[in-house]
Chain A
Amino acid sequence: MSSNAITIPGVQTNEKPWVDTLHEWVTTVDHKRLGVLYILYALLFLLIAGVEALIIRIQLMFPHNHFVSPEVFNRLFTLHGTTMVFFMGMPILFGFANYLVPLMIGARDMAFPRLNAFSFWLSALGGFLLYFSLVGANGLYGAGNAPDVGWWAYAPLTARAFSPGHSTDYWTLALLVSGFGSIGTAINIIATILCMRCPGMKLSRMPLLAWLNMVMSGMVLLAVSPLTAAQVMLLIDRYLGGHFFDTQAGGSAVLWMHFFWIFGHPEVYVLIIPCFAFMSEIIPVFSRKPIFGYPVMVAATVCIGFVSMSVWAHHMFSVGMNSYANSFFTITTLAVGVPTGIKIFNWIGTMWGGRIQFKVPMLFCIGFLFQFLIAGLTGVMLGSAAFASQLTLSYFVVAHFHYTLVGGVVFGVFAAIYYWYPKITGRMLNEILGKWHFWLFLIGFHLTFDLMHIPGLLGMPRRIYTYEPGRGWDTLNLLIGVGGFIQAIAVVILVANLVVSYFKGKKAGNDPWDAWTLEWATSSPPPAYNFASIPVVASRRPLWDLKHPEDPDSRYE
């Protein structure tokens, strides 16, 4: 990793004691180090939540299986969902945003470095709190352990009457705390992008990654806050005798659902928009063309940001809303598919007429495009309220959202890892291991999540620890589990690649991919101050202009 000292060749420097390195990392306010901390933290939770998923799939491989008890199973799916969304998805995307945004806009750091560090440690504390519940939640009644209320924690299941002990409270507090961290980072990203751009970088010349992270941060501000509010209400109910969701006192369980999904739906766009950003940066470089339709990509993303705040009740199509409400949420949900589809078309438009290089980051991008297309189409099915009344709460939904989250977010994150690892560490990841990772993960992913749609269509609800034989679900669940193991092997290969390449990888140089944005204008890894002198830009692809002075973008923009 980059050290803060400037190495002078020929002069002997003493090896730094490891405690000093540890101290530097723990007290860092450097956006690059915090970015790496976020990413490592998220990768750790990817492994933990992945193991949880494997246990779930083993339990479901056979009907009436006894691999784990129903209590343990229910905790596993609660932890799996909560961990993947809040302690894998959010941190890894904030990590990349933290690392890349200042570099891409030609700044030396984020707007508020100490707030940055504070937000990271808050998020880290959240993850710790959630898993501390495994040892700490045995409350007065000897009940409780890890939370087992599902990651949406529907009322009144979360009331003291139905969830004694403290397991639910650990869920609430973990997310409350990390939610403050998320809001802090979002504020930081917005302030950085609006206030720290290098000279010449008008908003219309900013890399799409910066734009999309700004939209994502705006959505975090608007979406995480309702969850925070709802969780405070839940704590008031559980500890101060409040009645927000107390149906016995006239309270409404449906109100929790509305508040949760007003958070929950924008949240999934918060998770995917940074991956759209990765696509928008990586696909052009490996197609050797600029992104097709930059202004439309910005407009579509802003549009998604707004429209996605109006679709939340498509998660509640079985709740018994009247036909006008169901119709309203159908049309808004279908409508949000339009700007999303436009983005897919623009990425294909970028590749069209290009010179596509099938390096590992691009392989993951292609997987993303294919999978996000399918996910969007199953989303259209789920958005149609009448059709959804059959599909919702079944394995069809589980398949759909894993398609978006694994097929979309995880593939996008893998693409980003292979693409920016050279910049972060100064070394290339091994291409052969990368391809093994890609193909194994692709096969495992499709085996699991393509098949998973079918039990849903055949009536298998979600969150069940076992099922009856003879419903046509048996073989499918077995194969789904096999696919899970194949994905696990692929992830192990990735981890091995990350570690081995750090020590033995080929040296990357400033710009191994022949790319065009500012992060490639400095060394790999960048020095602590990012740039020797603050860049000035005259177009969206400053490095293209430098490499092609006879045909610069600035002439055409």
Chain B
Amino acid sequence: MSAMANPFPEAPATWRLPDRGKVAMAGLIIAESAIFTVFVVAYLFYVGKSLAGPTPREVLETPIFYTICLLSSSLTIHFAAKSLARDRVGPFLGLLVLTIVLGGTFMYGTGQEWHRLIYERGLTISTNLFGTTYYSLVGLHAFHVTAGLVMLCLVAIFAVAGRVRVEQSRRVEVLSMYWHFVDAVWVVVFTVVYVLGR
């Protein structure tokens, strides 16, 4: 365009568009949900079809405590983000660290369960269809929890260094969307593996 006055019409009085971080995270969540759906479908399809080896009823123990930990971490991160939005960095950091601890506890619980299943009950990913689908589904979820924990730790480090203030609250909200997604997936995985699948 030449250096004339802008030939376009008058701009409207207000022009508000959604936040791109949130839209992008929603897109990522949709894609990840599709991936998890496929693993859940495989799990459900193969329920009861193992030819040999341990069955869910024989070896699974319902991880109620660790589930409570993980689901509570959704609450803590929610309040952490809220605090940051009000520029209350102290509570934010405390709640963030609590989130990490709760998530870490959940990972510890998963690790402990897997150790028991592998070494005491003889269930590995190659044992039978149950083993394959169980470790894949729970493992995929655990992988996503780990990725989330890494991100949360990074934010915690930056927060401790005093770099996280109200200006960054939008980004923390985006991260908390991801964390809520991870917890929602656990609700589904828990229901499918420990309730329906048995």
Interface positions of A (Cβ within 8 A of B): 111-112, 115, 183, 186-188, 190-192, 194-197, 199-200, 217-218, 221-226, 228-230, 232-233, 236-237, 240-244, 249-252, 255, 259, 262, 521-523, 531-533, 535-538, 542, 545-546, 554
Docked complex Cα distance between A32 and B28 (Å) = 24
- The answer to whether B162 has its CB under 8 Å from any CB of chain A is no
Docked complex Cα distance between A296 and B14 (Å) = 28
Q: Is the CB of A249 within 8 A of B23?
A: no
Contacting residues, chain A, for B38 (C-beta < 8 A):
225-226, 229-230, 259, 262
Number of inter-chain CB pairs below 8 Å: 136
Docked complex Cα distance between A254 and B136 (Å) = 19
Contacting residues, chain B, for A531 (C-beta < 8 A):
1
Contacting residues, chain B, for A228 (C-beta < 8 A):
35
The digit string for B51-86, where 1 denotes a CB below 8 A from any CB of A, is 100000000000000000000000000000000000
Given contacts A255-B45, A546-B7, contact A225 B17 (CB under 8 A): no
Q: Is the CB of A224 within 8 A of B31?
A: yes
Top 9 A-B residue pairs of the complex, sorted by shortest distance between their CB atoms: A241-B126, A225-B34, A229-B38, A187-B27, A195-B20, A242-B132, A199-B11, A221-B31, A199-B15
The digit string for B16-60, where 1 denotes a CB below 8 A from any CB of A, is 011110011001101110110111001001100111000000000
CB distance from B147 to the nearest CB of A (A): 13
Q: Is the interface of A mostly helix, strand, loop or mixed?
A: helix
CB distance from A166 to the nearest CB of B (A): 20
Q: Is the CB of A226 within 8 A of B23?
A: no
Docked complex Cα distance between A222 and B26 (Å) = 12
B129 interface neighbour in A192, A251, A259, A538, Cβ under 8 Å: A251
A191 interface neighbour in B7, B23, B136, B140, Cβ under 8 Å: B23
CB distance from B189 to the nearest CB of A (A): 14
Name A535's closest neighbour in chain B (CB-CB).
B8
Q: Is the CB of B9 within 8 A of A538?
A: yes
Name B45's closest neighbour in chain A (CB-CB).
A255
Contacting residues, chain A, for B51 (C-beta < 8 A):
249-250
From 120 to 151 in chain B, residues with beta carbon under 8 angstroms from any chain A beta carbon are: 124-126, 128-129, 132-133, 136, 140
- The answer to whether B6 has its CB under 8 Å from any CB of chain A is yes
CB distance from A123 to the nearest CB of B (A): 16
Q: Is the CB of B28 within 8 A of A187?
A: yes
Q: Is the CB of A236 within 8 A of B132?
A: yes
Some 8 contacts from A to B, beta carbons below 8 A apart, are A186-B27, A194-B23, A226-B35, A229-B34, A243-B126, A244-B42, A250-B51, A536-B6
Docked complex Cα distance between A531 and B1 (Å) = 8
Name B1's closest neighbour in chain A (CB-CB).
A532
B10 interface neighbour in A197, A222, A230, A536, Cβ under 8 Å: A536
Q: Is the CB of A233 within 8 A of B42?
A: yes
Contacting residues, chain B, for A229 (C-beta < 8 A):
34-35, 38-39
Contacting residues, chain A, for B132 (C-beta < 8 A):
236-237, 242-244
Docked complex Cα distance between A521 and B50 (Å) = 64
B20 interface neighbour in A112, A225, A226, A250, Cβ under 8 Å: A112
Given contacts A242-B125, A243-B126, A250-B51, contact A522 B1 (CB under 8 A): yes
